Copies of this chain bind each other. A is one copy, B any other.
Amino acid sequence: MARQQTRDDILAAGMDLISRQGFNATGIEAVLKRAKVPKGSFYYYFDNKEDFGLAVIERFAQRFGDRLAALLAAEEVAPLARIRNYLEGGLERFEGNCCSKGCLVGNLGQEMADQHERFRRRLEEIFLTWQGQFAECLRQAQTAGEISGDLDPQATAEFLLSGWEGALLRAKVMKSTRPLRAFISILFDRVLR
């Protein structure tokens, strides 16, 4: 149990630092210092920095995926309102982080897609999983008559995910939630209808 806890502390510290400064700029020493774990023990838990980076991605994907799945499958809420709840919740979290960090998968995708094929492949799978979850919710919105039957759920989910990742990126650069608000408002006023 203690070992599992230590590993998790290292991953939590890594997730925070990598979200802020990227993978290349994050040193193992800084991670261990933040996790308050003795320097020598890193290699007890991880083979190397790459192995550690992949474990950080898994941790993020699992936590984030659980939250996304719970929100998008909330049957007591109308399908479109589930998507709105997700996006507005994301906006609040981003504001709570002082418009920093953004999405770890987007950050690492931007940084690592051309550098590291194992990272890229895993990030691609995660994007496809999210896209599938949005597409399923959009299909339910069509069945409920909330959006046009003409919209292709997969392409629309793709559009939604791209737009949200891009709005997070721009919001991080602007240090403002305005790009997120513009995205949500035009998405619901013009696309999801």
Interface residues of A (CB under 8 A from B): 20-22, 24-25, 100-102, 106-107, 109-111, 113-115, 120, 123-124, 127, 151, 155-156, 158-159, 161-170, 172-175, 178-179, 182-183, 185-187, 190-191
> Within the complex, what minimum Cβ distance (angstroms) separates A28 from chain B?
15
Bound form: Cα–Cα A20–B22 in Å: 14
**Residue in B21, B124, B174 whose beta carbon sits within 8 Å of that of A173 in the complex:** B124
- Among A156, A182, A191, max chain B CB count under 10 A is at A182
A92 to B148 CA separation, bound complex (whole angstroms):
31
Structural contact, B182 and A113, CB atoms closer than 8 A: no
A169 to B102 alpha-carbon distance, docked (Å): 14
Please, which residues of chain B bring their CB within 8 A of the CB of A155?
182, 185-186
Instruction: Report B-chain residues with C-beta under 8 Å of the C-beta of A179.
Output: 158, 162
- Which residue in B100, B109, B170 is a CB contact (below 8 Å) of A109? B170
Contact A106 B100 (CB under 8 A): no
In the complex, how many angstroms separate the beta carbon of A183 from the nearest chain B beta carbon? 6
